[in-house]
Amino acid sequence: MTETMPIAPWRLFTVEVRAVRRLSPSFIRVTFTGPDLDRFADNGYDQRIKLALPLPGRRGVHLPEGPDWYAKWRALPEHLRNPVRTYTVRAVRPHLAEVDVDLVLHGDGGPATRWARRVSAGDEIAILGPDAGYDGDHGGIEFRPSSAANLLLAGDETAVPAISGICERLPRDARGTVVLEVPDVDDVLPLVAPPRVEVRWLARHAGAHGSRLVPAVAAAAGELLGGDATEAAQPVADVDVDTEILWEVPDTVPPVPLYAWLAGEAGVIRALRRHLVAERGLDRRAVAFMGYWRLGRADPA
């Protein structure tokens, strides 16, 4: 009798680029296809995946397999280690075996940016993503608002794909505010949201990261919570974003007036977290904050 191997939550999909579309000066949309993408789970919201990119001068991607693939990958010599970066799924079309991923064209010169600026139809990579055959929670979704009365979703351009995916799956009676800071006014993209969710786009132009986002989030929080900072302000342990990963997501959210989901440059997100929890008194169990990247630092795998 042949023993059937259990299906894991995630699997490695070998894919190629079907199409590349420039959405704005800072965003491109890459459509991937592959023989197994009909098995890619369409979970929506802020579903994270990993893209494994080709090594310089080589075609295709070869990653270690098995549940301990990451440890094996980390152990490889750097010149044999395919760059791996984390992104958010933008759309899944299993019936067409297609997955869309929106990428931000940073100016950091890292491997992901270099690949994104050169990508074209026919390029081969690999995606580590959720397997639709797995009957359970795949993980990789951090948006968990529970029964919060209002929502506050905020981030910079790196959070735009995730917030767009979240808004598309919100119930029609959802209420709240979305605040998005992007490099330029031409980076404002179509975003579908329920009628009582207000979307505010902010172009920083030559301003510093967070220069428009931080005051706008503070203003939105004041509108949604009403009044000034509460007496329930909580101390918040500081995080050294140069040495630590800024990432805290509550598993369960108690009944609260506001649930906040914040993602983007780690230093900016740290400031927003401090304002909402330490100054305004929002229950820290109702704040998901994620440092997607750090100014002046290479992207983590």
Do 176 and 286 belong to one domain?
Answer: yes
Do 287 and 155 belong to one domain?
Answer: yes
User: What is the SS3 assignment for 87?
Assistant: strand
Do 155 and 255 belong to one domain?
Answer: yes
- Last residue of a domain, which of 130, 164, 190? 130
What's residue 180's pLDDT? 98
What's residue 61's pLDDT? 86
Do 242 and 160 belong to one domain?
Answer: yes
Q: What is the CATH number of the domain that holds 58?
A: 2.40.30.10
What's residue 59's pLDDT? 80
Residue 256 included in any domain:
yes
Q: Residue 217: which domain range?
A: 150-293
pLDDT, tens digit (0-9, with 9 covering 90-100), for 189-241 = 999 999 999 999 999 999 999 999 999 999 999 999 986 444 455 666 666 55
Q: What is the CATH number of the domain that holds 176?
A: 3.40.50.80
Domain count within the chain = 2
* Cβ-contact 187, 157 below 8 angstroms: yes
Do 169 and 118 belong to one domain?
Answer: no
Q: Which pLDDT tens digits describe the chain residue by residue (301 residues)?
A: 445 668 899 999 999 999 999 999 999 999 999 999 999 999 999 999 999 998 887 887 888 877 788 888 889 998 889 999 999 999 999 999 999 999 999 776 688 888 999 999 999 999 999 999 999 999 999 999 988 889 999 999 999 999 999 999 999 999 999 999 999 999 999 999 999 999 999 999 999 999 999 999 999 999 999 864 444 556 666 665 555 678 899 888 888 899 999 999 999 999 999 999 999 999 989 999 999 998 866 665 5
What's residue 229's pLDDT? 47
Distance CA 62, CA 155 (A): 33
Indicate the pTM of the whole model.
Answer: 0.92
Residue 143 included in any domain:
no
- Last residue of a domain, which of 130, 159, 178? 130
What's residue 27's pLDDT? 97
Sequence-separated contacts (24+) of 190-196 with Cβ below 8 Å: 191/163, 191/164, 191/167, 192/164, 192/167, 192/168, 193/167, 193/168, 194/167, 194/170
* Cβ-contact 199, 180 below 8 angstroms: yes
What's residue 108's pLDDT? 62
Residue 92 included in any domain:
yes
Residue 2 included in any domain:
no
Do 234 and 196 belong to one domain?
Answer: yes
Do 186 and 274 belong to one domain?
Answer: yes
User: What is the SS3 assignment for 110?
Assistant: coil
Q: Are strands 124-130 and 48-52 parallel, antiparallel or unpaired?
A: antiparallel
